[in-house]
Amino acid sequence: MEQKTKPQIIIGAASSNCGKTTLTMGLLRALRERGLHTQPFKCGPDYIDTKYHTLAAGHESVNLDSWFSSPEHIREIYHHYGKEADILVTEGVMGLFDGYRKMQGSSAEISQILRVPVLLIVNARSTAYSVAPLIYGFKHFCPEINVAGVIFNQIASESHFDYLQQACEDAGVPCFGYLPRLKEIELPSRHLGLTLENKYLFDKFSLRIAEEVEKYIDLNRLITCYTVPFEKKSILPVSTEEKENIKTIIPSLGKTRSLKIAVAQDEAFNFTYRRNMDQLQSYGKINYFSPLSDTQLPEADFVYLPGGYPELYLPQLSDNHSMMQSIRQYIENDGKLLAECGGMMYLARSIKGMDGKTYPMVNVLPIQATMENMKLHLGYRSFVFGGQTYKGHEFHYSTVIEETEKLPSIAQQYNAKGEKVNTPLYQYKSTIAGYTHLYWGETDIFGLMHH
């Protein structure tokens, strides 16, 4: 019988860089070491933090994003992925109330949608009793958001912590402990790529933070205080109408078989959303392949090249001629393929790496990608194609140089404020490629492939 209540925490912060991810990793690992099945979630579109969560918890993390999704969908996937868990831990994004428009898209909005209390982490490195009005403000600013407790980060000493405990007491918010100021529990660079070596480093790192969590945070009291109602909901199955739509898009899909889907997954390509993958799985069988080490594509009706870190593996990708030839042939034969960000770069004529060298790639799109003059491009994106609205997120440091035979964009993309952005969406034969990482947990992605 499913539990009617269970411990559920949203880790919010007073601002960015308070230590949300460090605390989340330590908490997930400490709960795992206690033998608890802990399901991690991440507010917002980030696909790197979810990988850290997965390594720490031993269970795959799930994104909850109110730009991508309706409140009903967020509640649905939260309960679907959390129903087997003993405890649910959600890491917030930026500061608690920071969204793309006031509170819209914020961790606070996710808390409001799910009715899950917030555990506020405060960086107390250069403050003491002055945190009292800050905590009081977070507690009372929006009565619909339950800030049920505080944890402090960057604590210098027990006497420092004493001032902070007094502040919590006077602000009327429980304090569950702190993380000390230790260089060894500061999160390493996010742009490492999850190689086997780095997975090992992150595993050791999460275990080290877990030791500090057990030492300085009252986990038993935290679990008790954050035990709240958990309502049963389930994911809606793929509708018959959607399945029939897919058959018209991919005529080779008959009544007797499901789709053969090939998804790139290795150190170079791994930025995927769990719900996207589960949605694909509902249409057929997924075969994962590696553009780094495999020699050819699996047999497929649809190929997905997600983003990742191709810039860290340019010699290996460029040297794998047989895989590039296999992908090129699939595309030239009008195979359906979706490529996002790093996946799109892989389909370019070449990529100029951070070493200044140019590496030939698959060569089906008349563009060149470069890591020179790296500049961050990020933000929510939306566009309309075939009467359907698609939403996603752009996040990259590379730029694309279009050649003289310019490939026109098939859709105008917009940011969260509804302003036009210069982010192209390319189409070549039955291939769609662009910088935007799309979320299709609540959308029929095969509608985009119908042209």
Mean pLDDT of the chain: 91
pLDDT in tens, 339-364: 999 999 999 999 999 999 999 999 99
Give a three-class secondary structure readout of the chain.
CCCCEEEEEEEEECCCCCCHHHHHHHHHHHHHHCCCCEEEEEECCCCCHHHHHHHHHCCCCEEECCCCCCHHHHHHHHHHHHCCCCEEEEECCCCCCCCCECCECCHHHHHHHHCCCEEEEEECCCCCCCHHHHHHHHHHCCCCCCEEEEEEEEECCHHHHHHHHHHHHHHCCCEEEEEECCHHHCCCCCCCCCCHHHHHHHHHHHHHHHHHHHHHECHHHHHHHCEEECCCCCCCCCCHHHHHHHHHHCCCCCCCCCEEEEEECCCCEEECCHHHHHHHHHHEEEEEECCCCCCCCCCCCEEEECEECHHHCHHHHHHCHHHHHHHHHHHHCCCEEEEECHHHHHCCCEEECCCCCEEECCCCCCEEEECCCCCCEEEEEEEEECCEEEEEEEEECCEEEECCCCCCCCCCEECCCCCEECCCEEEECCEEEECCEEECCCCCHHHCCCC
Provide the pLDDT for residue 444: 86
Provide the pLDDT for residue 255: 43
- The pLDDT-based confidence of 405 (bands split at 50, 70, 90) is low
Provide the pLDDT for residue 233: 56
Provide the pLDDT for residue 447: 87
pLDDT of 191 strictly over 50: yes
pLDDT in tens, 91-129: 999 999 999 999 999 999 999 999 999 999 999 998 999
Provide the pLDDT for residue 394: 97
pLDDT in tens, 263-305: 999 999 999 999 999 999 999 999 999 999 999 999 999 999 9
Provide the pLDDT for residue 451: 56
Provide the pLDDT for residue 28: 98
- The pLDDT-based confidence of 256 (bands split at 50, 70, 90) is very low
Average pLDDT rounded to a whole number, residues 2-9: 87
The domains located in the chain, with CATH, are: 5-229 (3.40.50.300), 240-447 (3.40.50.880)
pLDDT in tens, 418-444: 999 999 999 999 999 999 999 999 998
Tell me whether residue 142 is one of the annotated catalytic residues: no
pLDDT of 184 strictly over 90: no
Provide the pLDDT for residue 34: 98
Provide the pLDDT for residue 402: 80
